[in-house]
């Protein structure tokens, strides 16, 4: 099951002073990025991918992985202190963190959130260590029809998950198609030129990193500036002793911790699901099994543990899908994929055959990152609070320079910078009109994969498309695709029926009509 | 009635942009389309223009709706020019950022990274209402040097 040689080689890679330094720096930057409202894990990673050019692949990936994990925790700092989640996933943390802070227990809340994040992360990376090799061994049997269907599955999930808002399903489809369109620009597998106008800068395809910087980071800057949301300031002081107490308190709820971490791991592994959905599900589950469900939303420790554990555990799930199958589970893992490609690595089962030691090194690196997170967050909390208080007037120009430098650094051409700006403007318009940017991002990453594998299937099987319905794994993936389409519809029908069957006493209805309160 | 138009224009504009992008994509694919045929050039441009027009129409109506909701005195009686003034006010800071970054990228072509970045930061801080002279002059120099040292010297990342 484990290749001991590769395992020790991986340990050797990650226990170099350079790798440890990058893990530490990545974690520090990640916590900061996550704590600044408006900057998410993916925004931070988009800005930081270009600075990994000079690093070795291991250092680059553990650095970005640490940023990813750190940002997921960082979001909870402002959620607790200001009731303003630093990242969308930290919304749930604010439910119980802020009431706790209002009771004067901010440090306890911070400790609970930190402890659950660290344990959730550790559980998910240990699970990743156990699951990943068998998963990759299974995935190695995938041929081009299966890989094509896997890419389609990733794209279908975008549409089904974004169907909550009005017109969300179609918005998801539209932006997904747009992403695929952009992703297939350049010279195709057949050698034909597509959508490039013969322009040399586009023949290699759309520059992925500048596009991601534009869609994720530059567009966010525009939103920050146009909303003029200069935010509140963190005034509270962090007490190390109290935070430690909160961390240890986490262990008093082992069931909630393990249970919600497993939910985070599983939901995180689903393409396009991510930490936010994992948090919502685990919070609801924790409330269901709690002895004090009435305390949820009023400062329940279990509520904080559920969100913190699931939040960080989802990173392990998303990384597993990305590394073993080559399918990004979130915007952040799409960026990790981009970074891996830049360093000459191809995520997917082949990575396990060719560079198993590197895969182990990434997992160990992420486990070490959890330890660094614990100490960094406890002992540098006050420093982070000061930096988070940096005014937007200073932050925005600095991040804009990062966007420009990052886009330029990939191919040393200003064309990429202009392209990044164009993507930023499109991303901004999309955000303003509630179009999910993740659709374009996943379309950009999965589109070329779907395109390549479809062409290869056509060539290999002489345009006999019945191959998709005759191979057992293909059929399995087709069933999953069908489920992703049917499940939201069934859920909608089920909810409607449940609502219709809800019996409300006439007295209650009359009372509600008088007071105007919802039942 | 205006609400109906608002929803329709917002729903149509973005899909029209995407459709224009699809046609542009085909236009850039020599195996499928002969670019000499003007029809293929006219169609995406026409779609883009209609999309932009609809989007601007949506923005104007949206501003009108918001002003009505807030019960301000800017209503349908106000002229279109005044509504657009309000629109420009709303998007002023975003426009400043976009124009400044565009200007920054253009001057990067002529000046090297350090002077261009110092000028950009100075302009941006000024536009974002920083008036403290020490911060206006000192911060751009300090930040530029820090970025230069971290990217160029420590991380070997090429700078424009």
Neighboring chain A residues of B105 at a CB cutoff of 8 Å: 404, 414, 417-418, 421
Cβ separation A425–B97 shorter than 8 A: no
Cβ separation B29–A400 shorter than 8 A: no
Count the Cβ atoms, other than its own, within 10 Å of residue B95.
Answer: 14
Cβ separation A51–B155 shorter than 8 A: yes
Please name which of A260, A254, A317 lies closest in space to residue A283, comparing C-alpha atoms.
A260
Q: Please check whether residue A134 touches B, CB under 8 A.
A: no
ipTM for the predicted complex comes to: 0.74
Cβ separation B160–A403 shorter than 8 A: no
Cβ separation B28–A185 shorter than 8 A: yes
> Using CA atoms, how far apart are residues A397 and B124, in angstroms rounded to an integer?
6
- State percent of chain A over pLDDT 90: 3
**The token pair that represents A149 in the structure block:** 């269907």
Cβ separation A400–B97 shorter than 8 A: yes
Integer CA distances (angstroms), B98 to A238, A418, B123, in order:
38, 11, 13
Count the Cβ atoms, other than its own, within 10 Å of residue B73.
Answer: 8
Please name which of A90, A388, A321, A338 lies closest in space to residue A216, comparing C-alpha atoms.
A338
> Using CA atoms, how far apart are residues A59 and A55, in angstroms rounded to an integer?
6
Cβ separation A181–B125 shorter than 8 A: no
Helix (H) or strand (E) holding A132: helix A106-139
Residue bearing the bigger pLDDT, B72 or B10:
B10
Among chain B residues, CA nearest to A55: B155
Contact by Cβ (8 Å): A123, A258: yes
- State percent of chain B over pLDDT 90: 6
- Per-residue pLDDT of A323-355, as tens digits, reads 888 877 677 888 888 888 888 888 887 787 778
Contact by Cβ (8 Å): A77, A33: no
Please name which of A117, A15, A101 lies closest in space to residue A378, comparing C-alpha atoms.
A117
Q: What is the pLDDT of residue B50?
A: 73
Neighboring chain B residues of A174 at a CB cutoff of 8 Å: 14-15, 18
Residue bearing the bigger pLDDT, A28 or A192:
A28
- Per-residue pLDDT of B6-52, as tens digits, reads 666 666 777 777 777 777 777 777 666 565 555 666 666 667 677 77
Contact by Cβ (8 Å): A315, A267: no
Q: Pick the range with the lowest mean pLDDT from A5-19, A46-60, A153-167, A383-397.
A: A153-167
Q: What is the pLDDT of residue B9?
A: 66
CA distance B75 to chain A (A): 23
Neighboring chain A residues of B18 at a CB cutoff of 8 Å: 174-175, 177-178, 181
pTM exceeds 0.95 for this model: no
C-alpha of A260 from chain center: 17
> Looking at the partner chain, which of B15, B26, B91 has a beta carbon nearest the beta carbon of A226?
B91
- State percent of chain A over pLDDT 70: 86
Cβ separation B94–A418 shorter than 8 A: no
- Measured over the CA atoms of residue A351, residue A353, residue A356 and residue A358, the dihedral's sign is negative
Contact by Cβ (8 Å): A34, A87: yes
> Using CA atoms, how far apart are residues A155 and A176, in angstroms rounded to an integer?
7
Integer CA distances (angstroms), B68 to A78, B54, B71, B75, B130, in order:
34, 21, 5, 6, 34
Beta bridge partners of B13: none
Q: Best residue in A175, A401, A425, A430 to probe B by mutation, most B CBs within 10 Å?
A: A401
User: How much of chain B is helix, strand and coil, in % rounded to 5?
Assistant: 80, 0, 20
* pLDDT higher than 70, residue B148: yes
Q: State the Rg of chain B over Cα.
A: 23
Please name which of B100, B93, B130, B138 lies closest in space to residue A394, comparing C-alpha atoms.
B130
Given pLDDT bands bounded at 50, 70 and 90, which one contains residue A164?
very low
> Using CA atoms, how far apart are residues A310 and A174, in angstroms rounded to an integer?
30
Given pLDDT bands bounded at 50, 70 and 90, which one contains residue A446?
confident
Cα dihedral value A308, A310, A312, A317, nearest 10: 180
> Using CA atoms, how far apart are residues A504 and A501, in angstroms rounded to an integer?
9
Q: Pick the range with the lowest mean pLDDT from A196-200, A454-458, B89-93, B103-107.
A: B89-93
CA distance A344 to chain B (A): 17
> Using CA atoms, how far apart are residues B5 and B55, in angstroms rounded to an integer?
11
Given pLDDT bands bounded at 50, 70 and 90, which one contains residue A163?
very low
Please name which of A280, A328, A321 lies closest in space to residue A136, comparing C-alpha atoms.
A321
Residue bearing the bigger pLDDT, B38 or A393:
A393
Among chain A residues, CA nearest to B156: A54
> Using CA atoms, how far apart are residues A280 and A260, in angstroms rounded to an integer?
10
Among chain A residues, CA nearest to B125: A393
**The token pair that represents B155 in the structure block:** 């991380």
CA distance A219 to chain B (A): 10
Helix (H) or strand (E) holding A194: strand A193-194
Cβ separation B101–A222 shorter than 8 A: no
Q: What is the pLDDT of residue A301?
A: 86
Cβ separation B101–A398 shorter than 8 A: no
Output b/e per residue, B125-154; b: 16+ Cβ within 10 A: bebbebeeeeeeeebbeebbeebeeebeee
Count the Cβ atoms, other than its own, within 10 Å of residue A436.
Answer: 22
- Per-residue pLDDT of A252-305, as tens digits, reads 888 888 888 888 888 887 765 667 777 778 887 787 777 887 788 778 888 888
Per-chain mean pLDDT for chain A: 80
Q: Which of A63-67, A264-268, A477-481 has the highest mean pLDDT?
A: A63-67
Neighboring chain B residues of A418 at a CB cutoff of 8 Å: 105
Cβ separation A51–B98 shorter than 8 A: no
Residue bearing the bigger pLDDT, A123 or A392:
A123
* pLDDT higher than 70, residue B73: no
């Amino acid at each position: 099951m484990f290749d001991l040689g590769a395992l020790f080689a991986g340990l050797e890679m990650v226990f170099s002073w350079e790798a440890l330094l990058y893990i530490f720096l990545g974690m520090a930057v990640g916590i900061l990025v996550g704590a600044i409202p408006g900057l998410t894990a993916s925004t931070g990673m988009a800005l930081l991918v270009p600075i990994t050019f000079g690093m070795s692949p291991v250092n680059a990936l553990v650095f970005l992985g640490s940023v990813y994990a750190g940002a997921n925790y960082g979001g909870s700092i402002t959620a607790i202190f200001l009731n303003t989640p630093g990242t969308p996933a930290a919304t749930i943390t604010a439910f119980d963190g802020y009431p706790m802070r209002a009771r004067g227990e901010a440090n306890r809340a911070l400790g609970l959130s930190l402890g659950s994040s660290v344990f959730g992360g550790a559980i998910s990376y240990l699970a990743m260590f156990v699951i990943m090799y068998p998963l990759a061994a299974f995935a190695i049997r995938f041929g081009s029809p299966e890989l094509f269907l896997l890419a389609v599955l990733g794209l279908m999930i975008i549409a089904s998950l974004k169907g909550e808002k009005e017109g969300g399903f179609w918005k998801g489809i539209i932006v997904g198609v747009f992403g695929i369109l952009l992703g297939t620009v350049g010279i195709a597998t057949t050698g034909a030129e597509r959508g490039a106008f013969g322009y040399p800068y586009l023949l290699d395809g759309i520059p992925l990193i500048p596009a991601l910087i534009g869609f994720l980071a530059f567009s966010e800057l525009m939103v920050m500036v146009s909303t003029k949301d200069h935010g509140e300031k963190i005034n509270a002081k962090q007490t190390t002793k109290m935070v430690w107490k909160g961390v240890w308190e986490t262990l008093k709820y082992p069931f909630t911790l393990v249970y919600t971490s497993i939910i985070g791991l599983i939901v995180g592994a689903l393409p396009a699901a991510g930490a936010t959905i994992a948090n919502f599900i685990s919070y609801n589950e924790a409330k269901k099994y709690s002895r004090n469900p009435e305390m949820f939303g009023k400062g329940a420790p279990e509520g904080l543990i559920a969100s913190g554990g699931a939040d960080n555990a989802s990173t392990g799930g998303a990384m597993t899908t990305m590394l073993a199958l080559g399918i990004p589970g979130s915007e952040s893992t799409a960026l990790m994929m981009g970074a891996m490609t830049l360093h000459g690595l191809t995520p997917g089962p082949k990575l396990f055959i060719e560079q198993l030691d590197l895969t182990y090194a990434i997992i160990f690196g992420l486990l070490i990152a959890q330890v660094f997170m614990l100490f960094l967050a406890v002992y540098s909390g006050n420093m982070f609070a000061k930096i988070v208080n940096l005014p937007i007037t200073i932050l925005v120009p600095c991040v804009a320079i990062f966007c420009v430098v990052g886009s330029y650094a990939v191919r040393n051409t200003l064309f990429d910078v202009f392209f990044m700006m164009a993507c930023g403007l499109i991303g901004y318009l999309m955000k303003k009109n509630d179009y999910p940017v993740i659709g374009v991002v996943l379309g950009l990453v999965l589109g070329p994969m779907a395109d390549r594998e479809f062409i290869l299937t056509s060539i290999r099987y002489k345009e006999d498309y019945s191959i998709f319905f005759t191979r057992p794994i293909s059929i399995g993936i087709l069933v999953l695709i069908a489920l992703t389409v049917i499940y939201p519809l069934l859920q909608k029908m089920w909810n409607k029926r449940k609502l219709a069957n809800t019996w409300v006493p006439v007295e209650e209805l009359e009372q509600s009509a008088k007071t105007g309160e919802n039942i | 009635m205006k609400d109906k138009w608002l929803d329709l224009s917002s729903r149509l504009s973005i899909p029209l942009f995407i459709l224009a992008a699809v046609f542009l994509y085909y236009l850039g694919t020599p195996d499928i389309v002969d670019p000499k045929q003007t029809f293929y050039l006219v169609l995406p441009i026409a779609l883009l223009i209609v999309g932009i027009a609809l989007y601007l129409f949506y923005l104007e109506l949206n501003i009108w709706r918001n002003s009505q909701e807030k019960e301000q005195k800017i209503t349908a009686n106000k002229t279109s020019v005044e509504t657009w003034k309000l629109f420009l006010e709303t998007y002023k800071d975003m426009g400043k950022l976009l124009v400044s970054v565009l200007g920054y990228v253009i001057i990067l072509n002529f000046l090297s990274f350090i002077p261009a970045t110092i000028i950009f930061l100075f302009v941006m801080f000024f536009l974002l209402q920083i008036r403290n002279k020490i911060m206006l002059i000192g911060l751009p120099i300090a930040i530029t040097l820090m970025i230069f040292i971290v990217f160029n010297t420590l991380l070997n990342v090429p700078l424009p």
